[in-house]
Structures are given as structure tokens and as C-alpha cells.
Amino acid sequence: MGEYPSIFKSPSIPSVSKALVARWEKRLDALELDALADLVADTVYKERLRFEDEPGHDKEVSDIDAAAKAISQRSRSALCSAVRRLVRSYAHEIHHPFSTRAYGLATRVLPSALTNLVTASDPRRLLLRETDPGRRIAIHGDVDQIKRLAEKGTLILAPTHLSNLDSPLIGYVLFNSGLPPFSYGAGLNLFSNPMMAFWMSRLGAYTVDRRKRGRIYKQTLKDYSTEILRRGCHSLFFPGGTRSRSGRVEHSLKKGLLGTGVRAWQEQLAERSPTSDVFVVPLTLSTSLVLEAETLVRDSLSREGKSRYIIVDDEFSQPRRVASYLTRVANLDESVHVTFGTPLDVMGNPVDADGNSLGPDGEAIDRKRYVCNDDGQVEWDDQRDQIYTQRLSKALVRSYHRDNVALPTHVAALAAWRCLARQNPGLDTWRLVRVERSGRQLDRAEVLQEIQRIRGELNALRQRDRIRTSLPGDAEHLLETAIQRFGSYHSRPAIEARGQRVDIDPELCLFYRNRLHGYGLEGTS
């Protein structure tokens, strides 16, 4: 098992803070006084807006007050000092020292405990030491290739994001697959769960506060990601930025942290690092159920959802709800699919087992020529790098859709939604989710016919390598499987059998059918 570099072994953060401030010093030297004042004013304004919604801590308020005073002074020295103070404060918030002791304990205890949690067929067996995840977590992809790449360079793991439970799930999969530890960004709201906060703060998590919108904070966060990648620390972040509110596979990615890969790689090249390679590994999560589905879909549908970037109070914040979800999901067959996609370089080209970048014709290409001159010197070009990151983003989205696994809950929800729309013609999505109870009762035979049609459509897509499927038996079996899975957790099941009819919850059906959005299927537009 690999080890973290020294940045994560230190019990303090002076080296991290010093490195981040040093990056800012170069920027500050290049800024005119007016641009520098605008930069600080941007952070002061946006932080004070945040304080209006929820009070800041004393130190936060003090730092912002000092920055505001520096603006009024119009002194370059005072403004630069204010930036340094803010960067040091952000560094302390973002970085958490890695604990080798905690990691050793976690690798001995947590994998077994989590395995028991997700594989026990009887809740009373959750304390038994079973170690075969078998039917509950299906891992796909060439893990051996990823292990080889981890020895040749630094990995960025880029997963899809469904639930706050994704991080411990991925951690388990990485350990169980024999992959090295990863640093990862975790939303500040996750640290509100005391147990999660204890482990995350010691196992490589760094804090991402999505409420902070100032340019200084956003750049410092990107600098932190670049710095740890440059130092050879494998890193994980969710390019979608946050959980998928709608339930869809990510189709538009945030490129801030994603772009730090190409920057870190160039810094390694410039330093003549012996392991100057950064590889990006797509990871697609497909689950039968989502813990926070009810809250997420409502947030997606509401007007407020267009402006809320983070949900503070959802099912994840309720320990009993989390325990109920995990216990009930433990009884499901094949409840989670984790698919490692084809590794990519930081420009979005696929790479082979030896780490060679491959062109459209499948032939190896020299990726250093993308960023170096004929003498092998790195040529820095931010606009060019943005284009490379855009290419990488598109390659990740294609991988996510290709490796998404269509499950019974997704297919049954899509079939029910099609029937609902046909039964209530002329209604748009927002009216369909509010249709009266009588309009939500569907003919079971019609739902089964739709399931059969969708299976045919998905089979055609699968043959063209556009999606994966895991669908049991015939239409009747698939519907019964979906009903059982929905009923095992949700207090208001997405689909519930009523003799020759089925009752549906339109909101939950919308959420789960959205997992098949983006494939040109009728009823997902």
C-alpha cells in the first residue's frame, strides 16, 4: 500500500501555508494597484454577504475587516498583507494533517466493518466479521492497469456524485482493490457529522467550503490541489462539484479543480521530476437507491434549487436515517456498481497500460509536445490549458455515460414516467410531479409493456458500448425487483403494487428515471 508524501505526514501545516502564500506572491507582483484592490474587494463583498446569511467565526470576521481597512488605505503593502492573511487562514481551514496511525487503524477495522454493513443479509449479522462484498458491490474496470499507472505517476480519481455516502464507499473500494490512499475534497457540511469528521480529517480529506465565492478563496483552493498533485499525492475530487440533484449522470463539469491536473503536470515537467506524469481515472457510481433522493429531487425542482449550491439539512444529517438506509440496502442484491473507466491523460487522451497517450488512431503520441518547445522547456499558456481541460471534461462525460449501469429501479421509474405522461397529456414535468393522486395510478400491464420496450432500447445502446446494464429476468421480474428495492427504504415508494395497478410517486420516479437521461430515450428529455 502506497504512502502519502511528507505534506500529509506533518502534524502541522506550515509547509502547506508557506507554499500557498508563495504561489500568491508571484500573482501579487504582477497586479496593478487597482486590480489588487478589486481582488480584495471581491472577497470582502462576497464574505460579508455570506455573513448576513449565517454569522462568521470571530477570526473570519477579523480577517475580512482587516482586508476592508486595507482597501480604504489604498496601500499596496496593506493590500498584499491582507491577501497573505486570508490565504494563511484558508490554508488552515482547507488542510488536515494526514494521520498514519488513523490510516493504519482504518485499514484494519473499517473495511471489515463497512463490508459487513453492505453485505450482511440479516441486520443481526452486521457485527460478524464477513469479508466478501460479493453480491452487494460490483467492481468493474481494469484495476491492474490503474495500479501500474499509480507507480508511474500521480492519479486523479474523478467520480460521479450521487450521495454523501459516496466518499466512504469509494474509500472502501480503493482499499479493497489494492489501490493507494487518495487525498480528497470534502464539503464543509460533511464535517457536521462528528463520526465522519473524525475520520475524514485524519485520512486525507481537505475542506471545501462552497459558500465561499471570493476569488482569493477559489484560487487558493486550486493552488492547494495543484500543490499536492505536484508533490505526488494521488487526489480525488468530484468534477460535478456537488451531488446530482436531478439524479442525472453528470453532463457538465466544473473545471476549476479539474484544471489543476494539467498545471501540476507541467510543474513536474519543469522541475524534471522523475515521475512527471498525471493520469485521470473516471469512476462511475450506479446505485439502486440514493439516500438523499427525496431531498435532492425537491431541491432540483424548486426555484430555490437554482441558487442553493449546498444542502445543509438532508437525510445525511440524520444519523437514524443513514442507519436505516444502510441496514435496508444491505439486504439488496447488486445494490452498487463501481466502474473504473479507461484512464486518461490531462488533455483527455486515453492512455495504455504503460502510460502512453493514444491518439484517435490508437497510436502512441508524445504528450509532452502539447506543452513543451523543441528544447523540452515548458511553455506556459493558461488559455491553451483551458482548452485541454475542456477536452478532458468532455472525455470524462463520455466515460460516465458509457460506464453508467442501468438498474431495475431506473428502468421501472422510466417506464412509469412514460405511462404517467401518456395518461396526463399536455402536462410538463413540473405539472406531472404535482398531478393529483388519481392521476398517479397506472395500469400494471402498460407499465410492463414499457419496461419491455426500454429493455430493447437499452440493449441496442449497450451493443454500441454507450451504456451498461444489469437487468434481471423478464419485465415482470424486473418490475417486482424494482418495487421491492424502492419499498425497502423510501417511506413513500416510487412505485407500489396495487393488484392490477401500480401507484407511483412522481417526484421519486423522476429522480430515478433521470439516471437514463442523455441517451436519447423517449421520456427523458
**Same domain, residue pair 399 and 409:** no
**Same domain, residue pair 347 and 336:** yes
Residues of the chain short of pLDDT 50, as ranges, are: 1-2, 6-11, 114-134, 304-313, 330-332
- The reported pLDDT for the residue numbered 41 is 97
- The reported pLDDT for the residue numbered 1 is 42
- The reported pLDDT for the residue numbered 203 is 64
**Same domain, residue pair 340 and 409:** no
| Structural domains in the chain (count) | 3
pLDDT in tens, 212-223: 999 999 999 999
**Same domain, residue pair 390 and 415:** no
| H-state helical runs in 211-287 | 215-230, 260-270
**Same domain, residue pair 175 and 321:** yes
Range of the domain at 511: 405-516
The CA distance from 198 to 112, in Å, is: 18
- The reported pLDDT for the residue numbered 104 is 63
Residue 356, domain member (yes or no):
yes
- The reported pLDDT for the residue numbered 482 is 95
**Same domain, residue pair 294 and 153:** yes
**Same domain, residue pair 411 and 479:** yes
- The reported pLDDT for the residue numbered 135 is 56
**Same domain, residue pair 374 and 428:** no
Burial (CB count <10 Å: 0-12, 13-18, 19+), residue 458: buried
- The reported pLDDT for the residue numbered 175 is 82
DSSP string of 145-163?
A: HHHHHHHHSEEEEEE----
Place of cell 490541489: 225
- 153 CB-near residues (< 8 Å, 6+ apart): 275, 276, 277, 278, 279, 355
- 134 CB-near residues (< 8 Å, 6+ apart): 119
**Same domain, residue pair 426 and 283:** no
Q: Give the end of a domain, one of 94, 128, 148.
A: 94
Residue 132, domain member (yes or no):
no
Q: Give the end of a domain, one of 403, 427, 444.
A: 403
Exposure string of 52-81, with b = 16+ CB inside 10 Å and e = fewer, is eeeeeeeebeebbeebbebbeeeeeebbbe
Exposure string of 14-49, with b = 16+ CB inside 10 Å and e = fewer, is eebbebbbebbeeeeeebeeeebbebbbebbebbee
**Same domain, residue pair 260 and 378:** yes
